[in-house]
Amino acid sequence: MIYIKNKSEIEKMRKAGAFAAKLLNYLAPFVKAGVSTLELNDIAEDYTKRHGHRSAPLGYKGFPKSICSSINQVVCHGIPKKEDILKDGDIINLDVSPVVDGYIGDTSRTFFVGTPAPEIRQLVEDTERAMWIGIEQVKPGARVDEIGNAIDDFLSPKGYGIVRDLMGHGVGRNFHEEPQIPHFRMGRKLAKIEAGMIFTVEPMVNQGTWEVNFDKLDKWTVRTKDGKWSAQFEHTVLVTEKGYEILTKED
Ligand code: MF3
Ligand code: CO
Ligand code: CO
């Protein structure tokens, strides 16, 4: 079932989205060579708690930490660790999902650590552009598969692999609600988009194959099958009468 949010739920989602964006902005200057992903996790958790909120990932289906931190060939759901120390040339996606007054804001960005290789900079820039191209399809009367079609038409000619195993999702009181939002061409019609829906657009884009592996031991970390690098950006988006509103805007 796809929830259509009412006025008061939308207001709460605006607050949750705004806090998620503020949290990611707060983390940004700490992303530097020498910092561990556990330190970034702890900075995020402290900031969230200090504002009276909590982190949706912590304990979600057994996830052990407060944010996801995904370096280089890690596609998503990387678990923060003291051994994972950022170095010059890395890229890292930080995905934050705070719970504010019962509602969840979900947003992520891929950051450069120092100076990236030119093709890595291109990957990250193309991934962010792909997210925006997907978001630009959002309006009442369109269908969610059209988001995937537009992203696929932009990325596939450039030779990238678009992750198929994980998709965008409805979000609200629950971390993951219907509908699923594909970032690739599925070749069939999916749910109609209606005003009052809230969902994420969060393409995961690989330099090489779209195929991924799930870590056998920790059951969370998703890596590219070929070891090439992967980038991701994510916003939480409200469908309005005219189109969309970004709930996790950075400004
Ligand atoms: N924030 C992720 C998403 O965009 C979900 C992470 S689930 C977790 O859907 F348990 F790994 F945190
Ligand atoms: Co999400
Ligand atoms: Co997320």
Q: What residue spans define the domains of the chain?
A: 7-246
Determine the pLDDT at residue 188: 98
| Ligand 2 centre distance from Cα of residue 200 (Å) | 6
Residue 183 in marked binding region: no
Determine the pLDDT at residue 251: 79
CA 78 – CA 236 distance, rounded (Å): 20
Joined together, the tokens standing for residue 69 give 């931190």
Mutate to test the pocket of ligand 1, among 48, 67, 76 (most ligand atoms within 8 A of CB): 76
Closest CA to ligand 1's atom 7: 57
| Contact 234 CB / ligand 1 (< 6 Å) | yes
32 phi-psi bin (left φ>0, alpha ψ -120 to 50, beta other) = beta
CA 149 – CA 46 distance, rounded (Å): 39
pTM of the predicted model as reported, rounded to 2 decimal places: 0.98
Query: How does DSSP assign 74-104, residue by residue?
Result: EEE-PPP-TT-B--TT-EEEEEE-EEETTEE
| Contact 77 CB / ligand 1 (< 6 Å) | yes
Percentage with pLDDT > 70 across the chain: 100
Joined together, the tokens standing for residue 239 give 């469908």
Enumerate residue ranges in the chain where pLDDT < 70: none
Joined together, the tokens standing for residue 148 give 């995937």
pLDDT digits (tens, 9 = 90+) for 14-43: 999 999 999 999 999 999 999 999 999 999
pLDDT digits (tens, 9 = 90+) for 109-131: 999 999 999 999 999 999 999 99
Please identify every residue whose CB atom is under 5 Å from ligand 3, which is an ion.
95, 106, 108, 234
CA 251 – CA 143 distance, rounded (Å): 29
On average, the pLDDT of the chain sits at 98
Domain 7-246 is of which CATH architecture? Alpha-Beta Complex (3.90)
